Chain A
Amino acid sequence: MTRWITCRELIDFLWRYLEGEVSEEERLEFEYHLARCPTCVAYMNSYKETVSLGRAAFEDLEAPAPPEVPEDLVAAILTARRSLPG
């Protein structure tokens, strides 16, 4: 008989389930709950989408053209460099 975990337990430890850091027994408990609780499924899906959007959000910025560096910052860096040894 699979133990019924609460939504709170599922959501608090969702990262362990998603990272595969759960025992076989715990995995079954998570899946038993998810099969019967649309609210937790909605939470898990939006959590996963948040993570993937977070990753995608910054990949966008990298390519193709790097953003310009302000000229006054270039000047400040060059000035600071002159005061360094070597």
Chain B
Amino acid sequence: MVAVPAASGYGFQGLHATVSWALCAFLSALEPMLGSRRLTESSTPSPSDAGAPPDESALVARLRGGEEEAFALLVRAHGGRLLATARRFFGCEDDARDAVQDAFLSAHQALAAFQGQARLSTWLHRILVNCCLMKLRSRRRRPEESLEGLLPVFDETGHEARPSRPWEPLEDEMARRQACALVRSLIGQLPESYRTVLLLRDIEELDTAQAAELLGISENAVKIRLHRARQALRALLDPHRKGLPS
């Protein structure tokens, strides 16, 4: 079993020093889990992900040697992508930036544990997702968030109170891109606990057991929360996509 580092009780100023060793063990156990397909098998890889870049081991050696210039290079090369990922987890830009900073500092301390089997980009991505989750978990418990108005409503006979209508097909690539942009903005409107499950399962492509372990909830709770999150996102999209009444 993977030991999830307990986030509660840690101040984030002390995070890197306090949990870095637990994080090292956690990350190596996490090896097959996070950020797999998009970062390693993308059909349109960025230069840093294409093939095994010949200079990556040299960079890793420089990083292990404590070279600040190498570390700056790492931050510039990967920071933008990590920030884009962190923004999905947090509505607040400061939180996203904090998570990126936590991730780089944790990576700095965990470099000894970096095996070189994963690419740096994949490894950093895993650390970042973990930092985002720890940050989310460390917040004080909030009352159960409501999806009111975003779940289907049924009448006493079990029919939808407002029957669903088919969506207009997306006619071309342009329409599809616009729909994707819309989805990105609408996911931000989901309550945090639902958005997180959706990101882990549908975007990060963790399986149910992995998501359950990282979130500290049961597999069944993951499945139900994911279903509701998708239903809520569907409801947010619905007014934009609904066809005319027939």
Residues of A within 8 A of B (CB): 6-9, 11, 14-15, 19, 39-43, 45-47, 49-51, 53-70, 73-74, 76-78, 80-82, 84-86
A-B pair count, CB < 8 Å, reads 159
In the assembled complex, the CB of A25 is this many whole angstroms from the nearest CB of chain B, namely: 19
On whether the beta carbons of B83 and A67 are closer than 8 Å, the reply is yes
Quick one: given A53-B180, A66-B80, are A73 and B97 in contact (CB under 8 Å)?
Answer: yes
On whether the beta carbons of A61 and B223 are closer than 8 Å, the reply is no
Contacts of B81 in A (CB 8 A): 62, 66-67
- Cα distance, A58 to B158, chains bound together (Å): 35
Count of B interface residues, CB-CB < 8 Å: 63
The 0/1 profile, CB within 8 Å of A marked 1, for residues 185-219 of chain B is 00100000000001000110000000000000000
Closest to A15 in B: B227
- Cα distance, A69 to B73, chains bound together (Å): 12
Quick one: given A43-B152, A47-B234, A56-B180, are A69 and B72 in contact (CB under 8 Å)?
Answer: no
On whether the beta carbons of B68 and A81 are closer than 8 Å, the reply is yes
Quick one: given A73-B79, A73-B83, A78-B72, are A46 and B158 in contact (CB under 8 Å)?
Answer: no
> Which residues 77-98 of B have a CB within 8 angstroms of A?
77-84, 88, 97
In the assembled complex, the CB of B52 is this many whole angstroms from the nearest CB of chain A, namely: 18
On whether the beta carbons of A57 and B44 are closer than 8 Å, the reply is no
On whether the beta carbons of A81 and B165 are closer than 8 Å, the reply is no
- Cα distance, A64 to B158, chains bound together (Å): 47
On whether the beta carbons of A54 and B203 are closer than 8 Å, the reply is yes
On whether the beta carbons of B80 and A54 are closer than 8 Å, the reply is no
Quick one: given A39-B163, A81-B108, are A67 and B84 in contact (CB under 8 Å)?
Answer: yes
In the assembled complex, the CB of B188 is this many whole angstroms from the nearest CB of chain A, namely: 11
Pick the contact of B44: A11, A43, A63 (CB < 8 A). Answer: A63
On whether the beta carbons of B237 and A73 are closer than 8 Å, the reply is no
Contacts of A47 in B (CB 8 A): 230-231, 234
- Cα distance, A49 to B46, chains bound together (Å): 27
On whether the beta carbons of B164 and A77 are closer than 8 Å, the reply is no
Contacts of B187 in A (CB 8 A): 54, 57
Quick one: given A59-B38, A61-B84, A66-B78, are A14 and B227 in contact (CB under 8 Å)?
Answer: yes
- Cα distance, A81 to B106, chains bound together (Å): 10
11 contacts between A and B (CB under 8 A): A6-B159, A8-B154, A9-B158, A42-B163, A42-B165, A61-B184, A63-B46, A65-B46, A69-B80, A81-B68, A86-B108
**Is B23 interfacial (CB 8 A cutoff)?**
no
Contacts of A59 in B (CB 8 A): 38, 42
- Cα distance, A61 to B183, chains bound together (Å): 12
Contacts of B80 in A (CB 8 A): 66-69
On whether the beta carbons of B75 and A78 are closer than 8 Å, the reply is yes
Closest to A49 in B: B167
Pick the contact of A46: B76, B167, B203 (CB < 8 A). Answer: B167
